[in-house]
Amino acid sequence: MKYISTRGNSPAKNFTEILLGGLAPDGGLYLPEEYPQVTRADLDNWRNLPYADLAYAVLSKFATDIPAADLKVIVSKTYTSAKYHNARADSDTQQITPLRTLESGMHILELSNGPTLSFKDMAMQLLGNLFEYVLDKQGEELNILGATSGDTGSAAEYAMRGKRGIRVFMLSPHGKMSAFQRAQMFSLQDPNIFNIAIRGVFDEAQDMVKAVSNDHAFKAKYKIGTVNSINWARVSAQIVYYFKGYFAATQSNDEKVAFSVPSGNFGNICAGHIARMMGLPIGQLILATNENDVLDEFFRTGVYRPRATDHTYHTSSPSMDISKASNFERFIFDLVGRDAAKVREFWSGIDAGGAFDIKGTPYWHELSKFGFASGKSTHLDRLKIIRELWEDYDVMVDTHTADGIKVGLEQRRPSLPLICLETALPAKFEETIIEALGRNPERPAGLESIEKLPQRVEVMDADLEKLKAYIAAKIPN
């Protein structure tokens, strides 16, 4: 399988060639030349597979240049119950992503049993093993540059710590993550991990990562790669749990379901979009935003208008405090019939600080064919959902998952079972849980006093040249 850029001006490459790089040289994002199609026979064969075997079945359709035996070893090493056990005492961690049924037709897909208590572990643990495999084959090193609004950073660092030939430089918005999230990242003392807190918001950190990726000379000299959701391997890994969730919530492959997905950077729901394009029977993809509702605005009005820093709000679901969704370009590429010239036109306006509007164009009518619905959730909505789930089902959810459940219940079609994707464990957002319930969330063993550990972080202005100088100084010549 070959991969092409959404902007159409980069040569097609294979999976391992794009694995380490992030953005395409023309500034676009990589996607398969065409999505592999899943047959009814495939669905029947996959329905009862353990998670690691299902992951192999899905990923072997994308990573076609990795020998089958090697890919099987990588996937089997990644998805083990020993690695995905760090969460709830009542979870069936043999399932890796257990489905929790609240009532008939309403489910939560647990995705936060990994080492950093976030759905990001589902892809990042695989990425760490893929990187190590490819770098070992090539005899190369890689310096990962990423940006996080909360959970990507810790998931990447835990996946890459101690890995041969890999360093991680992770940017985060200074003072805008929860205390638990900060402690997870900044308490790591591994010599290959570098945390950089940027004075600003996540979008500024993300822009810096993209700017470094677009400086081709610097990127080549310092062997810069990325783990942000612009990395295709992360998206492909996330496709797997849509299949797993579908099988767990249905009795047969004739049924359709709705997935509700909290969304900031459009990476998680982009995986659902691709699963649907492959042939998974998804009747509805429900996108939930918080107060930073740029994506909800697009699906309601046809206008995509990223917001400036001073109009990006700091909320109680901070991992979604994003006003410029990197992965959205992948979906627009599909929406416009894979017309790279149209994508370039749209994003030249976006990169200049503008917007685009598809209302009144044929694309607006096409949009309905992709099964999306959307909505917005506020702080008061989050508190209400957290209270209701605790009172009605004895289930505690984090703030982002609460956003997904609130919007999912509003937008679902009554005929479809609703699967809400869990984002993280409530322990990561203690302050809001206390506000909602008057009690502390439980913490997995060993993480009771994580905030008291020594922390190591460099605080820096959103200055691209200072960032480059910092990276260059930390990489041996």
Structure-block tokens of residue 79: 């998805």
Which amino acid is located at 448 in the chain?
E
Question: CA dihedral defined by 288, 304, 266, 280, rounded to 10 degrees?
Answer: 80
- Please count the CA atoms within 13 angstroms of the CA of 208 that sit on its side-chain side: 29
CA angle 421–159–477, rounded 5-degree value: 140
Cα gap 319→289, rounded to integer Å = 11
In three-state secondary structure terms, 50 is coil
Q: Note if 120 is an active site residue.
A: yes
Alpha-carbon separation of residue 38 from 76, 215, 415, 431, 446 (angstroms): 22, 38, 24, 43, 42
- The 8-class DSSP code of residue 235 comes to H
Q: What are phi and psi of 123, to 5 degrees?
A: -95, -35
- Pick the catalytic residue from 72, 120, 452, 466: 120
Per DSSP, what are the bridge partners of residue 418? 106, 258
CA angle 166–168–172, rounded 5-degree value: 170
- The 8-class DSSP code of residue 13 comes to B
- Cα R_g (the chain), whole angstroms: 21
Cα gap 461→171, rounded to integer Å = 11
Structure-block tokens of residue 64: 């076609």
- The 8-class DSSP code of residue 118 comes to B
Cα gap 267→329, rounded to integer Å = 10
Which amino acid is located at 208 in the chain?
M
For the chain, the farthest-separated pair of C-alpha atoms sits apart, in whole angstroms, at: 61
Let me know: does 104 contact 407? Beta carbons within 8 Å: no
Residue ranges in 174-231 assigned as alpha helix (H): 179-186, 202-214, 216-221
Residues classed as catalytic: 120
